[in-house]
């Protein structure tokens, strides 16, 4: 299980990345993250929806109510242009962190 701090730091990036695949409703976001992380990242609805509301307020995403497969209405979220731009920035930042950690954890042998 990942630390709460790491999960919190990655939440926006994960949501933006999943929504870049297409529109999605909240519970499906939770399931997708769990699937992608092999069960290591477990989100609750109580954690997710405040983030989605904040992202909507910031105009990174937008939502609309649609009828689901079983006839129930669900709120679907999708990326806005600002969200796509934010995702590109987030990807760059996370790749910088990733490559830095790889260098630290897999150092090249010194040539002495």
Domain regions of the chain by residue span = 4-105
Characterize the bridge pairing of strands 24-25 and 61-67: unpaired
- Report residue 112's pLDDT band, with 50, 70 and 90 as the boundaries: low
- CATH fold for the domain made of 4-105: Arc Repressor Mutant, subunit A (1.10.10)
Full-model pTM: 0.90
Give tens-digit pLDDT for 19-32. 999 999 999 999 99
Give tens-digit pLDDT for 29-81. 999 999 999 999 999 999 999 999 999 999 999 999 998 778 889 999 999 99
Residue 109 tokens, joined: 């042998």
């Amino acid at each position: 299980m990942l630390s709460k701090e790491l999960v919190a730091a990655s939440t926006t990036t994960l949501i933006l990345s999943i929504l870049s695949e297409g529109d999605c409703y909240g519970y499906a976001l939770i399931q997708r993250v769990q699937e992608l992380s092999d069960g290591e990242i477990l989100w609750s609805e109580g954690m997710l929806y405040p983030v989605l509301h904040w992202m909507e307020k910031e105009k990174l995403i937008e939502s609309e109510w649609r009828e689901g497969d079983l006839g129930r209405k669900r709120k679907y979220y999708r990326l806005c242009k600002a969200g796509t731009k934010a995702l590109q920035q987030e990807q760059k930042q996370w790749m910088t962190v990733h490559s830095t950690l790889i260098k630290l954890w897999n150092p090249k042998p010194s040539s002495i």
